[in-house]
Amino acid sequence: MSIILSRTIRSCRATTHADLATLKEPVISTYYCKKHSKICKPIFSIKGWWDRYTIDTLNRLKQFDGLRTETCQICLTGDSRTIDIYEKIKKKNPAFAELLFKQKIKGIFSSPPYVGLIDYHKQHAYSYELFGFERKDELEIGPLYKGQGKEARDSYVKGIADALNNCKKYLQKDYDVFLVANDKFNLYPDIARLAKMRIVNRFKRPVLNRVEKDRSNAYAEIIFHLKEN
């Protein structure tokens, strides 16, 4: 029910098709839609999306049940710069924590925030309200409200490097870190240096059909492959 309701609410926000990420102003009447090049209207009833997500979510859960393997997946929330992964996992699954402590973590695959692009708490305000999560806006790395100026970029570089340095405690020696970023300010070489890592490869990942962007704005993200320096 929570999954269905949160998907429904996300799709029913008072915004335009072209702006699902930043939600500058509530849109409650018809508007010219940049994504579809025609007049579109905001949603006036949640019923359509509720029906659609109910069926879709049940199908996905059923499909996932068939694919599920005997592996352990744990979801932790926290500030990546300070989170104590062992302690958090010990509370959820002591046997797994022991294994982890002995073997450590082989690698990270992450899509970190980018500097000055999105205020994630604002973008997902509906889910904080729906689930009663405590907001921690001030812990966001690189939020939109801090902009992309020199100070914001420096603080972003430090934030991501701090997160990597925190994670290194839990990583095996020969770890692999993969980070997805559209690094237009070329900040990742500095981040790697501060984290005492080296960029061993850069993979290009085309981003062709983000829902909130018009398709002519396709761009490439880089997946940085980092290892211990």
Ligand X SMILES: C[S@@+](CC[C@H](N)C(=O)[O-])C[C@H]1O[C@@H](n2cnc3c(N)ncnc32)[C@H](O)[C@@H]1O
Nearer CB in complex with ligand X: 15/140 = 140
Options 27-35, 42-50, 62-70, 138-146: segment touching ligand X (CB under 6 A): 138-146
Kindly state the helix (H) or strand (E) to which residue 116 belongs, with its residue range: none
Q: Strand 171-181 to strand 105-110: parallel, antiparallel, or no bridges (unpaired)? A: parallel
Q: Which of 4, 7, 49, 113 binds ligand X (CB under 6 A)?
A: 113
CB 226 within 8 Å of CB 192: yes
> Which segments of 47-171 does DSSP mark as H helices, in order?
47-67, 85-92, 94-103, 120-123, 125-131, 150-168
Nearest residue to the partner ligand X, using Cβ:
120
Contact region with ligand X (CB under 6 A), list: 33-41, 42-50, 66-74, 107-115: 107-115
Count interface residues toward ligand X (CB under 6 A): 10
Q: Is 111 in the site for ligand X (CB under 6 A)?
A: yes
**CA dihedral sign of residues 57, 8, 207, 40:** positive
Asked whether position 112 contacts ligand X by CB under 6 A, the answer is yes
Q: Residues 6 or more apart from 17 whose CB is under 8 A from it? A: 33, 34, 35, 36, 40, 211, 212
Q: Is 125 in the site for ligand X (CB under 6 A)?
A: no
Q: 43 vs 130, which CB is nearer to ligand X?
A: 130
Write the interaction track for ligand X spanning residues 139-168; mark x where CB under 6 A is met and - where it is not.
Answer: xxx---------------------------
Tally Cβ neighbours within 10 Å of residue 52: 14
Toward ligand X, which CB reaches closer, 27 or 180? Answer: 180
**Which residues fall within 8 angstroms of residue 84, CB to CB, at 6 or more apart?**
none
Ramachandran angles phi, psi of 90, nearest 5°? -55, -40
Q: Smallest distance from the beta carbon of 110 to ligand X, in angstroms?
A: 7
Which residues in 65-84 contact ligand X (CB under 6 A)?
Answer: 79-81
Greatest Cα pair distance, the chain, in angstroms, is: 59
Site membership for ligand X, residue 120 (CB under 6 A): yes
Q: Which residues bind ligand X (CB under 6 A)?
A: 79-81, 111-113, 120, 139-141
